[in-house]
Amino acid sequence: MKFFIDTANMDDIREAYEIGVLDGVITNPSLMAKEWIKGKENQHQHYIDTCNLVKGDVSAEVIATTYDEMIAEGKELAAMNPYIVVKLPCTQEGIRAVKYFSGEGICTNCTLVFSLGQALLAAKAGATYVSPFVGRLDDISSDGVGLVAGIVDIYRIYNYKTKVLAASVRTTQHIIQCAEVGSDVVICPLAPIKGLLKHPLTDSGLATFLADYHKVNG
Ligand code: E4P
């Protein structure tokens, strides 16, 4: 399973990359706003810097909402770097644009997916990735991981090539559960990735080993 970090914070991207477990990066306009990355020029530079560091898929989200504008903006984003994946919302216009980019050999991430039906259309349109939002479904008493599991099953039945990218993953348990149901990728912030490392027996075991070493070796 691949790990994509869900942030526009360069320090967090660098830290995940240096741990050696980072396969890609996702951002969205809200995450860009959180880091105050303002204006098209700065945002494009952020994407280029991220691609140069990570050398893995970097999803860049279109702001356009009409088909023609999505195509123009998506082309501009894709031209920035070969690692760019054009991120498009799962709307009628967005699915149309996914179909167009799929025909052009440009990678896409169909985002804001909350149902099996949406995931089915994304795959039929030829999306490279589909992003079901686990945490946001859990927020409204729905079953986010259940949706990921359902999409994985349907894609296997029909042998769709679209990769399942579990988005809005916020906890270590979300990561484990998405792995268990066969998600191709999880997207999450740095904290739950580092949380996977934590175990009290690792800490106490290491402390004992070091104490015993120093007893004998000084
Ligand atoms: C994915 O495309 C989004 O950036 C992200 O996963 C949303 O996560 P959130 O629901 O925690 O904001």
Closest CA to 16 of 43, 45, 50: 50
Write out residues with Cβ below 6 Å of ligand 1.
Answer: 6, 26, 28, 111, 131, 133, 135-136, 167-168, 170, 187
CA 196 to chain centre: 17
Mutating to test ligand 1, I would choose from 4, 128, 133, 170 the residue with most ligand atoms within 8 A of its C-beta, which is 133
**Residues 38, 55, 87, 161: which is the catalytic one?**
87
Residue type, 26: I
pLDDT band at 186 (very low <50, low <70, confident <90, very high): very high
In order of 40, 41, 78, 171, 182, the CA distances from 134 in angstroms are: 29, 31, 27, 10, 14
Residue 82 has what pLDDT? 97
Mutating to test ligand 1, I would choose from 134, 187, 193 the residue with most ligand atoms within 8 A of its C-beta, which is 187
Q: What is the mean pLDDT of residues 47-75?
A: 97
Residue 176 has what pLDDT? 98
Centroid of ligand 1 to alpha carbon of 138 (angstroms): 13
Atom of ligand 1 nearest to the CA of 27: 4
87 classed as catalytic: yes
Average pLDDT over the chain reads 97
Percentage of the chain with pLDDT > 70? 100
Q: What is the mean pLDDT of residues 95-107?
A: 98
pLDDT band at 164 (very low <50, low <70, confident <90, very high): very high
H helices of the chain, in order, are 10-19, 29-34, 40-54, 67-78, 92-103, 116-124, 134-139, 144-158, 172-180, 190-195, 200-217
pLDDT band at 106 (very low <50, low <70, confident <90, very high): very high
Residue 126 has what pLDDT? 98
Residue 173 has what pLDDT? 98
Identify the sign of the CA torsion 113, 115, 91, 141: negative
Q: What is the mean pLDDT of residues 88-97?
A: 98
Q: What is the mean pLDDT of residues 110-136?
A: 98
Supply 109's token pair.
């991430």
CA-nearest residue for atom 6, ligand 1, is 168
Percentage of the chain with pLDDT > 90? 100
Centroid of ligand 1 to alpha carbon of 171 (angstroms): 12
Q: What is the mean pLDDT of residues 1-12?
A: 98
Centroid of ligand 1 to alpha carbon of 155 (angstroms): 22
